[in-house]
């Protein structure tokens, strides 16, 4: 691989707290290595449209604590076509970009994989509150999003406790239940509904019944958005019990906010590592966490790996809820 001279960095897919901190780390590390750095705005679509902004040490100042992404983000249909990828590759040539660092989730990395076939060096940094990328234990944004959800659920619990009610709270995660399970464990939920370990309606009602037998007078049901819809869960509970559940969909509030310490530090380390890989002549890699440390994996291999929810989480939840 030729010496890297100019890197483009972009954020794509759903935003996640820590994306800005990763952009800052990429730009500052690149400049430390004497490599120029350009921010591509609006994800892969921005690369097609030559939508960019030069990044300097100063221009990425004050980004550590900022939520969202200053580079904007998008989900590009055009980039999913061969023609779109060809256009993006010619923008890279036009801007003199030999490498792209793509910050986002699974879809973002598939885009990077496609671009690499056009001779561009690519590195992925995992960032999604869903934490559903198979090759990495941790994705940027997850911890901040979990804490946002926890704060909301703690507040809901106060009012549910006063009124002796049942609350059904829907948590994001697309097709995955990692966020819901983590949040459920952290908030002492009566039940957590995740797509990876579905429970029957009877089991759900039994959990509420057992909680009542154990002396509880309010109930918190955490539902992953990829599981049964929260409104439907509330209907099932209402039909089978004397409870009249209140539904709360936490929604996009979980994606906003200033990244917490874990996300700021992880984003800084991942951004640094991404540039280090390129400077060392490596390409087509995903930065990831493994065994508590930061490492990297071949992009094709990383995208082929699957994540599974640990049965320990399910067992711990069962022990906590007495079922
Ligand atoms: O992938 C992140 C995520 O927030 C998912 O949890 C959710 O299903 C989806 O994005 C929502 O996407 P949008 O912002 O397009 O509504």
Q: DSSP secondary-structure letter at 298?
A: E
What would the mean pLDDT of 46-65 be, rounded to a whole number?
Answer: 97
**Which residues are marked as active site?**
130
What would the mean pLDDT of 31-44 be, rounded to a whole number?
Answer: 98
Atom 4 of ligand 1, residue of closest alpha carbon: 14
What would the mean pLDDT of 58-77 be, rounded to a whole number?
Answer: 97
Q: What is the largest CA-CA distance in the chain?
A: 70
What would the mean pLDDT of 234-242 be, rounded to a whole number?
Answer: 98
Question: How would residue 1 be classed by pLDDT, with cut points 50, 70 and 90?
Answer: confident
Residues 6+ positions from 247 with CB-CB distance below 8 Å:
168, 169, 170, 230, 231, 234
Tokens standing for residue 9:
């960095």
**Token match 């509150």: residue?**
129
Pocket test for ligand 1, best of 174, 177, 178, 252 (most atoms within 8 A of CB): 174
Question: How would residue 321 be classed by pLDDT, with cut points 50, 70 and 90?
Answer: confident
CA distance 177 to 131: 9
What is the per-residue pLDDT for 322?
Answer: 72
CA distance 67 to 207: 37
Q: To the nearest whole percent, how much of the chain has pLDDT over 90? A: 94
Residue 323 predicted with pLDDT over 70 = no
Handedness of CA 309, 310, 314, 317 (dihedral sign): negative
CA distance 86 to 18: 30
CA torsion angle for 111, 115, 120, 122 (degrees, to 10)? 20
| pLDDT tens column, 105-159 | 999 999 999 999 999 999 999 999 999 999 999 999 999 999 999 999 999 999 9
Round the average pLDDT of the chain to a whole number and report it. 97
Tokens standing for residue 130:
């869903």
What is the per-residue pLDDT for 311?
Answer: 83
What would the mean pLDDT of 219-241 be, rounded to a whole number?
Answer: 98
Burial of residue 140 (CB within 10 Å: 0-12, 13-18, 19+) is buried
Residue 77 predicted with pLDDT over 90 = yes
Question: How would residue 39 be classed by pLDDT, with cut points 50, 70 and 90?
Answer: very high
CA distance 215 to 8: 58
Pocket test for ligand 1, best of 130, 140, 183 (most atoms within 8 A of CB): 130
Give all strands of the β-sheet with 166-171 in edge-to-edge order.
191-193, 219-224, 166-171, 246-249
What is the per-residue pLDDT for 91?
Answer: 97
Measured from the Cβ of residue 318, the count of other Cβ atoms closer than 10 Å reads: 11
CA distance 196 to 313: 11
Question: Ligand 1 centroid to 139 CA: how many Å?
Answer: 14
Question: Ligand 1 centroid to 43 CA: how many Å?
Answer: 15
Question: How much is the pTM?
Answer: 0.97
| pLDDT tens column, 173-184 | 999 999 999 999
CA distance 22 to 88: 22
């Amino acid at each position: 691989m030729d010496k890297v001279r100019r890197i483009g960095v972009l954020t794509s897919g759903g935003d996640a707290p820590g994306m800005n901190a990763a952009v800052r780390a990429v730009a500052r590390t690149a400049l430390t290595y004497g490599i120029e750095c350009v921010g591509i705005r609006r994800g892969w679509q921005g690369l097609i449209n030559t939508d960019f902004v030069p990044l300097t040490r100063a221009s990425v100042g004050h980004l550590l604590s900022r939520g969202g992404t200053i580079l904007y983000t998008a989900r590009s249909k055009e980039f999913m076509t061969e023609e779109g990828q060809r256009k993006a590759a010619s923008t890279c040539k036009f801007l003199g970009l030999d490498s792209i660092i793509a910050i986002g989730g699974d879809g973002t990395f598939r885009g990077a994989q496609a671009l690499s076939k056009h001779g561009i060096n690519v590195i992925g940094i995992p960032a999604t509150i869903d934490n559903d990328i198979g090759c990495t234990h941790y994705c940027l944004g997850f911890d901040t999003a979990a804490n946002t959800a926890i704060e909301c659920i703690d507040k809901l619990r106060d009012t549910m406790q006063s009124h002796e009610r049942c609350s059904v709270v829907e948590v994001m995660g697309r097709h995955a239940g990692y966020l819901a399970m983590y949040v459920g464990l952290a908030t002492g939920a009566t039940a957590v509904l995740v797509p990876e370990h579905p429970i029957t309606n009877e089991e759900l009602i039994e959990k509420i019944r057992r909680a009542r037998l154990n002396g509880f007078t309010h109930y918190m049901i955490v539902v992953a958005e990829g599981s049964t819809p929260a409104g439907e869960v509330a209907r099932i509970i209402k039909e089978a019990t004397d409870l009249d559940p209140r539904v709360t969909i936490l929604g996009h509030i979980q994606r906003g906010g200033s990244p917490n310490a874990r996300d700021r530090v992880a984003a800084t380390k991942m951004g640094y590592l991404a540039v280090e890989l390129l400077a060392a002549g490596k390409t087509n890699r995903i930065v990831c966490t493994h065994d508590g440390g930061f490492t990297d994996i071949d992009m094709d291999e990383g995208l082929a790996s699957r994540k599974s929810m640990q049965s320990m989480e399910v067992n711990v939840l069962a022990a906590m809820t007495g079922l």
